[in-house]
């Protein structure tokens, strides 16, 4: 029993639930008649009174005009019901749209010479859509290290194996790394550092077992006769 003038907790909760239901009905009615302003006000009040109202958040999603806001409403729906098929569909489509918008901002920034800002936009786009090939390609094009380019291009090929731009760039990056390793191996061999030269050549051969030029150089720096024979046989093969 409460003191005089107090409202019992159960009664207060029931009143809150009833008020939330009332605002939800009003919001749905307004949304159905095209009165977005009134619908938004009523539905937001319903969601405030009952944050677990899947219907309130879903109806707010249906009248939202901005993708960022729409995604926030859909996130609330999916936190309540992760299996809401419509919310999942809309959420995927909204994330794809946001990613495309961010990629375009990134392209504009890159073309204006603002590479840091561009990279920020591309990375944000990938947070929404990890499979956005354009974002990965632009990050690859801006990357200064060949290894970094290779990493970004491998992500494109993971999601889009037939992407011709990625395939050409990936091969060019691999060739650049290969030539760099061979150049370092030759330099090490000339300076008499056979161990280092062999390590570099092994790295080339691991990626390209039939690398004739690597095997030829291996035959020149081999210490034992058996090692030279093995290298020459590979060249002849």
Average pLDDT over residues 11-38: 92
Q: Is the pLDDT higher at 107 or at 189?
A: 107
Confidence label for 124 from pLDDT (cuts 50, 70 and 90)? very high
Q: What is the CA radius of gyration of the chain?
A: 31
* Dihedral pair phi/psi, residue 192, rounded to 5°: 85, 10
CA distance readout (Å), 170 to 84, 118, 134, 142, 148: 40, 22, 15, 14, 11
Q: Is the pLDDT higher at 10 or at 19?
A: 19
- CA nearest to 79, candidates 97, 102, 61: 61
Q: What confidence tens digit (pLDDT) does each residue in 59-113 have?
A: 999 999 999 999 999 999 999 999 999 999 999 999 999 999 999 999 999 999 9
The confidence score (pLDDT) of residue 6 equals 56
The confidence score (pLDDT) of residue 223 equals 67
The confidence score (pLDDT) of residue 174 equals 80
pLDDT at 180 over 60: yes
The confidence score (pLDDT) of residue 76 equals 97
The percent of residues in the chain predicted with pLDDT above 90, rounded, is 62
pLDDT at 115 over 70: yes
Q: Is the pLDDT higher at 142 or at 189?
A: 142
Mean pLDDT of the chain: 87
Of 28-37, 197-206, 208-217, give the range with the top mean pLDDT.
Answer: 28-37
Confidence label for 129 from pLDDT (cuts 50, 70 and 90)? very high
Any idea what the Cα angle at residue 234 is, between residues 228 and 237, rounded to 5°?
A: 140
Element counts in the chain: helices (H) and strands (E): 12, 0
pLDDT at 1 over 50: no
């Amino acid at each position: 029993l409460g003191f005089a003038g107090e409202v019992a907790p159960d009664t207060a909760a029931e009143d809150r639930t009833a008020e939330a239901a009332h605002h939800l009905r009003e919001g749905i009615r307004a949304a159905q008649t095209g009165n977005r302003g009134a619908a938004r006000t009523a539905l937001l009040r319903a969601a405030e009174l009952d944050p677990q109202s899947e219907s309130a958040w879903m109806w707010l999603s249906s009248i939202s005009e901005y993708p960022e806001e729409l995604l926030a409403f859909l996130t609330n729906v999916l936190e309540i019901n992760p299996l809401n098929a419509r919310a999942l569909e809309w959420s995927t489509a909204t994330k794809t749209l946001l990613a495309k918008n961010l990629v375009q901002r990134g392209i504009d920034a890159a073309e204006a010479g603002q590479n840091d800002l561009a990279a920020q936009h591309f990375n944000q786009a990938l947070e929404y859509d990890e499979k956005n090939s354009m974002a990965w390609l632009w990050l690859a094009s801006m990357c200064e290290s060949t290894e970094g380019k290779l990493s970004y291009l491998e992500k494109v090929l993971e999601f889009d194996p037939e992407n011709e731009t990625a395939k050409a760039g990936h091969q060019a990056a691999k060739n650049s790394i290969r030539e760099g390793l061979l150049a370092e191996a030759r330099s090490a061999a000339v300076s008499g550092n056979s161990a280092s030269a062999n390590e570099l050549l092994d790295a080339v051969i691991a990626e390209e077992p039939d690398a004739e030029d690597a095997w030829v150089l291996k035959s020149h720096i081999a210490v034992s006769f058996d090692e030279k024979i093995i290298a020459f046989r590979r060249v002849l093969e």
